[in-house]
Structure 1
Amino acid sequence: MRAPSAGRTTVRRWCLRHLQLLPVLLLVGGALLDYHTSPHFSGEAFYTAAPMTAAALLSLRATVLAGIGACAADVALLTHFGFIGNSGGRSELAAVATVSAFAIVVNRLMYYSNVRLQSARKVALAVQRAVLPQLPASIGPLRIAVRYQAAVKDAQIGGDLYSAQDTPYGVRCLVGDVRGKGMEAVKAVDVAMGVFREAAEEEPTLIGIAARLERALLRESERRAGVERHEGFVTGILVEIPHYGDELRLVNRGHPAPLMLHAGQVHSAEPSEPALPLGLAELGADQDRTDTVPFPPGATLLLYTDGLTEARNRAGDFYDPGSGLTGRDFPGPDALLDTLLTEVSHHAGGRITDDMALLAVTRGSG
């Protein structure tokens, strides 16, 4: 089934392609209307609309041609009705020529604005690639897939984070969600990702990794001002999949519980004890706890941020991935994540209001 977003993209492209004919239709329609109506009726509105429309939709060359066409059509109709030599005719032609010239200026302004926007998007994409890693498709018997969708249209990065890397202790994963938006959230993502990459290789336990993340985020929050200094935190879940055995370990710091999919069944890996998000350890004395859950061959672990479960439909109902995935089998983690993105977009009517990071790990059956 085609994703709703893909369908909307196709419709937008079709509309844009046909809208490009609008300047020509305005010129032809204005000239015909001008010719077949009373001499006292003027098609000036159509002649001025054509180059302005071309300025917004087409290239500089097309805008210039639309302006020339508008002036030529106006001259032809004014001459036909004998108005070219009087003051009214000259005034009308001057107005059409002025708007045509102004359309060229507008076209250039929009062009340079678009160039700056594209440059900003490239910078954002470079930041994303530097901060959020390109995960391998497989590590040993594990197949890995990731999807990231920002809530802001055309944005490349937000406050969600993910990582997975092979270490001497097994494959270790992190999925997290930074409170807040903007550059402060991106800074926190950068800090968390840098600490995780190093700690995952060095710390013998997930609790040790969580402690290092805690200290780093506390240092980062001290650099903030105002309410962000006291309310900045990161919900996160740490996963360790040993190289041998059919189990995995989890440390959950205030994050949505991951889902385990196996043989058509979906189970939520709830933490044995709730814990505060990373960066808030000063508010409580609870220590981290490591939970061990089965991870047999053929099973898939799904980690996600709350952008998935907080997506609402028009009736205000939240999306429930567990019920939607029960009784279904997927050939791999990529197919699972593609299905999830399609279904959550359909559920929310395409209105995604929060960033969404999805990470799926499937243990091979061989």
Structure 2
Amino acid sequence: MGKRDGRRRGVAGNVRSRRFVRALPALMIGAGVVFDLVTPPEVTAVPLFAAAPLIAAPFFSLASTVRVGVAAILVVLAIRVSDGTLAKVVPVTDLLTLVTVAALSLVINRVVRRGNEQLASARVIAETAMRAVLPTPDDRIGGLLVAARYEAAQADEFVGGDLFAVADTPYGVRLVVGDVRGKGLDAVAAVAVVIGAFREAAEQELSLEGVVQRLERALAREGSRRGGLDSMEGFVTAVLAEIPAGSDTLRVVNRGHPEPLVLHADGALDVLAPTAPALPLGMGLGAWPDRSDEWTLPAGAMFLAFTDGLSEARDAKGVFYDPAARLRGRLFPGPDELLSALTDDVRLHTGGRSTDDLALLAVGRPARGQQERRTTVKIVRRDSE
């Protein structure tokens, strides 16, 4: 209930803000009328009237901005006619000033709307490119349950350097979760290199270590093509995992990435710390002696990998979010429910003030009962056919 109440308060606050902005030009005109009535004739309220179309320009449509400007001009004319000062020099100057400001507000409105249209177009193009590079995986791959999330730091953005991919290969299900240093289109280009190299290597390399080395070489080639990347600017933290078909073995290679977790069906939780720390991919320091660590992923358990947008999320007091502590002892029906609960929890922890994107990938091995039920359903359908 607390989360829902918080969201409702946030929505209500946004609605109130929009209503206030919509009413502000009329309030400025009304304040100008009151000011003119309570002050001597030589004191002008034109700044208040001029503020009305200027406020409307960036927020209103062109037609509404025109209406606000015309309304301000007509009110000033009416005031000057009623007090008999329209023919004097100062009221005429004030009126010309108001007309000029109203015309300028139309120009501002046009510039702002054109800029918004260009920004929206660029955002759509960037988001389309990102979704093409980083498609959401199927919810079932190689007999495993899969769920993925990409949470942007800004609600209206979908461009960054976080990545994930899952592939069903002859060697089992292989996956990668990574974080490219940087933002924007350069980060998207690096994501494309890593994802492309992973999909090819996952199908061809005999070992998970071989896949990692292919990613390393792909980043090196990209650096050479671009004239040499600074090793501290082009690196990628990544965790790669492999789950052989029909086995509860889980192999993991961690290259400078936050440690993934295994959540068991009874609420127990394992932090998959590497036996030997390793540098991120693309550091340009030569071949790294990769070695995978082996863990178990029994029936009903889930493997969870994430980027530092989760583990480094802070609350108002600067306390980091600890996914292991927050998830230990909790039970989830499946990967999708796990990620939904996790994103809600971290949003509650930060108060919606996330400063970094985050990518989440959860892979679950169905419990034996779930597997048997699915097999029965398939047999019934075949019999009915």
TM-score (norm 1): 0.92
Q: Which residue among 272, 276, 282 is the counterpart of 2:275?
A: 272
Q: Is the 8 A contact 2:133 2:195 kept in 1?
A: yes
Q: Does 2:219 align with 1:214? A: no
Q: CA deviation at 1:130?
A: 1.8
Match of 1:343 in 2: 345
Q: CA deviation at 1:319?
A: 1.3
Q: Is the 8 A contact 1:257 1:270 kept in 2?
A: yes
Is 151-160 or 56-65 further displaced after alignment?
151-160
Match of 2:57 in 1: 55
Match of 1:239 in 2: 241
Q: CA deviation at 1:258?
A: 0.6
Q: CA deviation at 1:283?
A: 4.4
Match of 1:119 in 2: 121
Match of 1:250 in 2: 252
- Which ranges in structure 1 are unaligned for 5 or more consecutive residues? none
Q: Which residue among 359, 362, 367 is the counterpart of 1:360?
A: 362
Match of 1:98 in 2: 100
Is 275-284 or 286-295 further displaced after alignment?
275-284
Is 16-25 or 70-79 further displaced after alignment?
16-25
Q: Is the 8 A contact 1:223 1:229 kept in 2?
A: no
Match of 1:325 in 2: 327
Q: Is the 8 A contact 2:223 2:229 kept in 1?
A: no
Task: Show CA shifts across 1:299-355 (max 9, x none).
Answer: 111100112111223433221111111121123222322222232233334332322
Task: Show CA shifts across 1:118-158 (max 9, x none).
Answer: 01101110110121122112225422221112335633121
Q: CA RMSD, aligned part only?
A: 2.3
Amino acid at match of 1:163: A
Q: Distance in 2 between matches of 1:341 and 1:40?
A: 61
Q: Is the 8 A contact 2:162 2:307 kept in 1?
A: yes
* Within-5 A mapping of 1:1-366: 1-2=3-4, 8=10, 10-139=12-141, 141-151=143-153, 154-224=156-226, 228-229=230-231, 232-262=234-264, 263-280=266-283, 282-283=285-286, 286-365=288-367, 366=370
Q: CA deviation at 1:3?
A: 8.8
SS in 2 for 1:335: helix
Q: Distance in 2 between matches of 1:270 and 1:108?
A: 56
Q: Distance in 2 between matches of 1:331 and 1:21?
A: 48
- Name the count of aligned residue pairs: 365
Q: Distance in 2 between matches of 1:297 and 1:362?
A: 8
Q: Which has the higher contact order (CA 8 A, sep 6+)?
A: 1
Q: CA deviation at 1:225?
A: 5.2
Q: Distance in 1 between matches of 2:6 and 2:148?
A: 20
Amino acid at match of 1:329: L
Q: CA deviation at 1:36?
A: 4.6
- Which ranges in structure 2 are unaligned for 5 or more consecutive residues? 371-385
Q: Classify 1:110/1:46 alpha carbon distance in 2 versus 1 (closer, same or farther; 3 Å).
A: same
Q: Classify 1:237/1:10 alpha carbon distance in 2 versus 1 (closer, same or farther; 3 Å).
A: farther
Q: Is the 8 A contact 2:231 2:284 kept in 1?
A: no
Q: Distance in 2 between matches of 1:83 and 1:198?
A: 81
Q: Classify 1:233/1:115 alpha carbon distance in 2 versus 1 (closer, same or farther; 3 Å).
A: same
Q: Classify 1:157/1:25 alpha carbon distance in 2 versus 1 (closer, same or farther; 3 Å).
A: same
Q: CA deviation at 1:72?
A: 0.5
SS in 1 for 2:275: coil
Is 228-237 or 355-364 further displaced after alignment?
228-237
Q: Distance in 2 between matches of 1:31 and 1:269?
A: 69
Q: Classify 1:114/1:230 alpha carbon distance in 2 versus 1 (closer, same or farther; 3 Å).
A: closer
Is 236-245 or 2-11 further displaced after alignment?
2-11
SS in 1 for 2:230: helix
Amino acid at match of 1:362: G
Identical residues among aligned pairs (%): 46
Q: Distance in 2 between matches of 1:52 and 1:39?
A: 25
